[in-house]
Amino acid sequence: MTAPPETGILVLAGTPIGDITDAPPRLARELADADVIAAEDTRRLRRLTQALGVQTSGRVVSYFEGNESARTPELVEALADGARVLLVTDAGMPSVSDPGYRLVAAAVEKGIRVTAVPGPSAVLTALALSGLPVDRFCFEGFLPRKAGERRSRLSEVADERRTLVYFEAPHRLDDTLAAMAAVFGEDRRAAVCRELTKTYEEVRRGPLAELAQWAAEGVRGEITVVVAGAPEKGAEELGPEELVRRVRVREEAGERRKEAIAAVAVEVGLPKRVVFDAVVAAKHG
């Protein structure tokens, strides 16, 4: 009697979001060793392997939004037969606004091991560069294309205190920022991160209304938007003494006054000028 084959392993591989040299060394090894490579775009996969100098020997199949449901059972069968299946998407981590969730869920259900090659993430990179609080955040992915549905989705998180992260297409950015300004408030702080790790990387920070006006002139490239969470309830009622106290606490912890003022403004959801004026008044009072 022939023993049943050991089950294989599903490897989710993070790929560079721009700069090819960000690829982790393990990615090249996994590409070379995989029995099956499921790629969102096989042409991009060829460019990736060429750039890394990797010779693949495994079977390459396409795995994208249009065939994800149909191809998942085939890949699960390969895993059940002992194959090492590598899943790569165009950029970043599979399953994060990219194909992958269905395959992971199906593999987990069958008791198949799933692991990952950590790699670049537009979500975390934009969050770190935004200058907004990073201790707690929510990733909201892409907003609906229709204006009414988009506004409804934004309304659901209008009171969310955590920092919000979104993906958006460049041709919809101005409409999205305008909708955010209408729902969250024109003065809500945000950052638009464009072409991260690429030659023309740009991070534009400011109030939502100001960013919407800037985006109306036209923006190109891959976009990630980071928005400050909702201000504390009653933040507009905080007196100058409380604002000054919060700045001093941060200064005593080692922050420079300029950074402390900016951080408190974001924390309570007030314009930076209001906090600055309170600190200046206390100094001369």
Q: What is the pLDDT of residues 63-102, one digit of tens each?
A: 999 999 999 999 999 999 999 999 999 999 999 888 999 9
String of DSSP letters for 48-115: HHHHHT----SEEEE--TTTHHHHHHHHHHHHHTT-EEEEE-SSB-TTSSSTTHHHHHHHHHTT-EEE
CA separation, residue 96 to residues 101, 160, 253 (Å): 8, 21, 36
Mean pLDDT score, 2-24: 85
Residue 73: predicted pLDDT: 97
Question: Which has the closest alpha carbon to 168: 234, 120, 223?
Answer: 223
In the chain the first and final C-alpha atoms are separated, in Å, by: 90
- pLDDT, averaged across the chain: 92
The CATH fold assigned to 9-120 is: Cobalt-precorrin-4 Transmethylase; domain 1 (3.40.1010)
Judged against a pLDDT cut of 90, whether residue 262 lies above it is answered with no
For residue 12, pLDDT beyond 80 = yes
Question: Among residues of the chain, what percentage have pLDDT more than 90?
Answer: 76
Average pLDDT score over residue span 249-255 = 86
pLDDT for 4 equals 46
Quickly state the pLDDT bin for 252 (edges 50, 70, 90): confident
Per the model's pLDDT, the better-predicted residue between 234 and 38 turns out to be: 38
Q: How confident is the model at residue 6 (pLDDT cuts 50, 70, 90)?
A: confident
What are the tens digits of pLDDT across the range 158-193? 989 999 999 999 999 999 999 999 999 998 999 999
Res 285: pLDDT:
61
Query: Residue 110 region, left (φ>0) first, then alpha (ψ -120 to 50), else beta?
Result: alpha
Q: Return the higher-pLDDT residue of 235 and 197.
A: 197
Nearest to 104 by CA among 114, 90, 96: 114
pLDDT reported for residue 137: 96
In the CATH scheme, what is the code of domain 123-227? Answer: 3.30.950.10
Q: What is the pLDDT of residues 34-66, one digit of tens each?
A: 999 999 999 999 999 999 999 999 999 999 999
Higher pLDDT, 233 or 139: 139
Residue 157 has pLDDT above 80, yes or no: yes
Q: Which tops the pLDDT comparison, 130 or 272?
A: 130
Q: What was the pLDDT predicted at 192?
A: 98
Question: pLDDT category, 253, cuts 50, 70, 90?
Answer: confident
pLDDT at 1: 38
pLDDT at 273: 86
Provide the 3-class DSSP secondary structure of residue 266. Answer: helix
